[in-house]
Structure 1
Amino acid sequence: MNTDLSAIRQIRLGDELRAWRLENNRTLVDVTAGLKGWNAARLSRIERAHQSISAADLATLLDHYGVAGKEREDLEGLLGDGPSKRWWRSLDFADSITAAFAEYLDLEADASHISEYFPAAFPGLLQTEGYATEMIAASLSAPNDEQIEAATELRLRRQSRLTDDRPLNFEAYFGEVALLVAGDKGILADQLRHVIKVSQYPNVTVRMVPLSAGRPGILASGVVLMRFPGDPEDGFVFIEAVGGMLPRRTGRDVRRAERAIARVTRCALSSEDTITALERKLEELT
């Protein structure tokens, strides 16, 4: 991804360029034919936000497309954002981070507001080291000790978004099942203490969906809805799936995620009642 453009804007620029091409019934080969310095592979990478594009190159491409007026202004305006915060690149194990997860990390770093729900575990931004290690070790990928350690370190570093100089507004929802499943009771107790502590941050809301909510409130999978500065009406969605979180970029997907989060919100306990439930469970464990 581009190091000079925020993740969300680079993705949207690529999506818009691809949409223009498809609406005009043009293939990658068609639109790059005769365009010096361009080929189908390069344009494909730009459309998928896997390669950067400079303002000069974008102007050349739009000239070639014949895009002008407001449409052109909107596309060129997507280059006018601040730099992407690709902090994870400095990690020793950065090369092992998949392209899909790198996209997630970039967007998480750019987001100003995240609403996240997981039916059977506490969201990653709330996890302690012990709980994260336990969860990662139990994943379908069967990671080795080195991979578990690296993934745990990455998960903990991500939590700086809750306390940095531009703290993320974080709405965290989790299912009551998270209180009932534990490989180690001591780890779960520490996790509960941590969630109770973090729930006191002014930018963090923690709410539990009780089992009594039934099927209407307990979604079959996790969902993450991200919002970005200067763009409160749009967003980016990730849906939990086998092997990781799948991105969903369209406005329709955002609206679906909004409805799903609204259902969860209606069925969840209040923040106060959630803390009471956590404290009650902590008493049972200790």
Structure 2
Amino acid sequence: MLRQLRKDAGKERDDAAEWLEISQQTLSKIELGRQTIKAPHVRLLCQLYDVDAGTLDNLLRLAKEANQRGWWVAYRDTVPESFRRFVGHEADAAAIWDYQAEYVPGLLQTPAYVAAITRASRPNASDAEVNRSVSLRRERQERLDEGEPPQLRFYLNEAVIRRTVGGAEVMREQLEHLVAAGTADHIELRIVPFSAGAHAAMSASFIMMRFPDEPEPAFAYVENDRGAVYQEDPGDIDRYNLILSELDRVALSHVSSRSMIESAAESL
């Protein structure tokens, strides 16, 4: 709403940032919902944008609510804080690039596949914990299918479709789901084949996101067993953009990737 009010008032982002005495980057994060805004700043911006009292009251209420926890708080006992933050960003993204070396990306996983990898990675997990992991995946997928979904570009190491997870039936269902998901206009799915040999993304799986009104990705998200790292420095973004360009070079086309996935499913 603040972004639209600024545009309606004919103000540029640097005008608003200078008015608040903050950086344009900070203002961008506020307008994208990636950083909360305090009530005094809301009042100042409304003064700059010549906003009526009713709209101001509504914005102040929304600013207060923005500090409250998101829908994913229900899963705080299932996933770490770093990933709950990630899910919030995921819902706001305009484009997502996802390279996975070991398993199917979460947004494309079937319930049975989720259960299988959860039990493998957490052998002591209870049935209730496994079911909550499945529910979280499903809710993430449903929310990204609503309205205007982001552009999703997935790069999968060939090992992802060759490794049988949860048994032949579970894996066949998962591969068939990948084929079906790849028909959506907003999804591009590409396999990095074994024949590509060594490549730039071998060091780790990662996810990059770009938000509305931003020309470049905002960060690269890299997970590990103890949490995750958000790499946001310009040098980091340049590095991961280079990795993506190399993945584009060595990965199979969308059509050829679909054929390989279909062949892998038929072999089970």
- TM-score > 0.5 by shorter chain: yes
What's the counterpart of residue 230 of structure 1? 213
The 2-side partners of 1:50 and 1:172 are apart by: 24
What's the counterpart of residue 235 of structure 2? 252
What's the counterpart of residue 54 of structure 1? 38
Question: Superposition pairs for residues 62-211 of structure 1, below 5 Å?
Answer: 86-89=70-73, 91=74, 93-94=75-76, 96-139=78-121, 142-182=124-164, 183-211=166-194
Does the CA contact (< 8 Å) of 2:91 and 2:144 recur in 1? no
Structure-2-length-normalised TM-score: 0.73
**What is the aligned-residue identity percentage?**
27
| AA partner of residue 54 (structure 1) | K
| AA partner of residue 148 (structure 1) | V
- For structure 1, the 5+ residue unaligned runs are 6-12, 21-48, 61-78
The 2-side partners of 1:261 and 1:143 are apart by: 35
C-alpha displacement of 1:267: 0.9
The 2-side partners of 1:254 and 1:141 are apart by: 36
The 1-side partners of 2:122 and 2:227 are apart by: 10
SS state at 1:233 partner: coil
SS state at 2:208 partner: strand
CA RMSD in angstroms, aligned pairs only: 3.4
1:17-46: CA deviation from partner (whole Å, max 9, x where unpaired): 8x99xxxxxxxxxxxxxxxxxxxxxxxxxx
What's the counterpart of residue 251 of structure 2? 268
The 2-side partners of 1:190 and 1:243 are apart by: 30
C-alpha displacement of 1:162: 4.1
The 1-side partners of 2:43 and 2:235 are apart by: 30
Q: 1:172 to 1:251 in 2, by over 3 A?
A: same
Q: 1:234 to 1:175 in 2, by over 3 A?
A: closer
SS state at 2:121 partner: coil
1:168-223: CA deviation from partner (whole Å, max 9, x where unpaired): 11001111101221231111100011000010000000000001111125513101
Does the CA contact (< 8 Å) of 1:130 and 1:187 recur in 2? yes
| AA partner of residue 200 (structure 1) | T
- For structure 2, the 5+ residue unaligned runs are 4-16, 27-32, 45-58
The 1-side partners of 2:36 and 2:216 are apart by: 26
Q: 1:149 to 1:129 in 2, by over 3 A?
A: same
The 1-side partners of 2:230 and 2:200 are apart by: 22
Instruction: Give the count of matched residue pairs.
Output: 224
